[in-house]
A = this chain, B = another copy of it.
């Protein structure tokens, strides 16, 4: 028994297009409708046959849906919800894939009064963007966190949970505020730091940009990968999850200052103790299947 029969995906970037592909792979009888605000994206989506129907308006995409997933930047969620409000069937369930949950939940609730809303966040992605970047296995064995409000309809929550499990994801329920704190440290802060260091490296007078690129295999290139992620999406994440990000950033800055001091004063023990401690976390991540153990930072040994 499939959780939904007619799914609409609004926003056909990396995540939205991966959902469309994953539905077709795992639930081939489900009818998939898509819409994107960008006409060029709609054209590509039609050309690559991403869904059964790509509509020109958001309203037309949802008229017949029993499940609508908003896959737009978190800052655009409220507007995307307002755009479908008039055409949404009363029994349809609405979800999203935003990386911040408290602000999105509030925006969706305001735009869609009386609608069953079950916010979700699949913790998966790549540094690429757009409808052609998606692939159906993106959510395999990745976590999808759903953050229903305390008074959410239990059946709606169960159906959204079953939907993500059908795409291969493992589902966890979490309080929206706690989600935002967890993701601030596991995702938002790492992205902010990666963007910063890539910016710092490109602004040096003493080291040329050519040198930075040439010798990036020493560690820098891994940061550039993260810092190649979608700018609009990430701008919105930092503005929407401001408090949690600032809190984590403050802690990071304090810890970095302590290491800076250890370097300045030649305190090798402090450096060694931290460097040895961080290895254990890596082992746990591999044991939990959230990364693989292949060396060379994931590169093939060509």
Which residues from chain A sit less than 8 Å from chain B, CB to CB? 75, 99, 123-128, 133, 135, 137-138, 140-143, 145, 172, 178, 181-183, 185-204, 206-207, 209, 211-229, 231-232, 234-236, 238-239, 242, 245-246, 248-249, 251-253, 255-257, 259-260, 263-264, 266, 268, 271-272, 274-279, 281-285, 288, 290-292, 295-302
Q: Contact check, A276 vs B231: say whether CB atoms are below 8 A apart.
A: yes
Q: Smallest CB-CB separation from A199: which chain B residue?
A: B274
Q: Contact check, B227 vs A275: say whether CB atoms are below 8 A apart.
A: yes
| CA gap between A160 and B214 in the complex, in Å | 20
Q: With both chains docked as a complex, state the minimum distance between the C-beta of A193 and any C-beta of chain B, in angstroms.
A: 6
Nearest first, the 9 A-B pairs at minimum CB distance are A298-B298, A187-B218, A231-B275, A190-B219, A126-B295, A228-B282, A227-B278, A198-B278, A186-B220
**With A215-B186, A216-B186 as given contacts, are A249 and B255 in contact (CB-CB < 8 Å)?**
no
Q: Contact check, A216 vs B299: say whether CB atoms are below 8 A apart.
A: no
| CA gap between A202 and B282 in the complex, in Å | 11
Identical copies of this chain, number: 2
| CA gap between A263 and B240 in the complex, in Å | 9
Which of B218, B226, B238, B268 touches A263 (beta carbons < 8 Å)?
A: B238
Which of B193, B218, B242, B259 touches A99 (beta carbons < 8 Å)?
A: B218
Judged by DSSP, the binding face of A is helix
Across the interface, which residues of B come within 8 angstroms of A299, CB to CB? 291-292, 298
Which of B137, B188, B197 touches A301 (beta carbons < 8 Å)?
A: B137
**With A193-B193, A195-B278, A217-B290 as given contacts, are A242 and B255 in contact (CB-CB < 8 Å)?**
no
A-B contact pairs, 14 of them (CB 8 A): A124-B217, A138-B296, A182-B211, A186-B212, A186-B216, A201-B281, A204-B251, A214-B288, A221-B285, A227-B275, A228-B278, A231-B272, A253-B256, A253-B257
| CA gap between A216 and B291 in the complex, in Å | 9
Q: Contact check, A194 vs B219: say whether CB atoms are below 8 A apart.
A: yes
| CA gap between A227 and B284 in the complex, in Å | 13
Q: Contact check, A201 vs B222: say whether CB atoms are below 8 A apart.
A: no
Q: Contact check, A195 vs B275: say whether CB atoms are below 8 A apart.
A: yes
Q: Contact check, B200 vs A235: say whether CB atoms are below 8 A apart.
A: no
Across the interface, which residues of B come within 8 angstroms of A185, CB to CB? 200-201, 204, 207, 212, 220
Across the interface, which residues of B come within 8 angstroms of A252, CB to CB? 196-197, 200
| CA gap between A279 and B224 in the complex, in Å | 7
Q: Contact check, B207 vs A182: say whether CB atoms are below 8 A apart.
A: yes
**With A227-B278, A275-B227, A298-B297 as given contacts, are A218 and B285 in contact (CB-CB < 8 Å)?**
no
Across the interface, which residues of B come within 8 angstroms of A235, CB to CB? 268, 271-272, 275
| CA gap between A203 and B226 in the complex, in Å | 23
Across the interface, which residues of B come within 8 angstroms of A178, CB to CB? 206
Q: Contact check, B211 vs A279: say whether CB atoms are below 8 A apart.
A: no
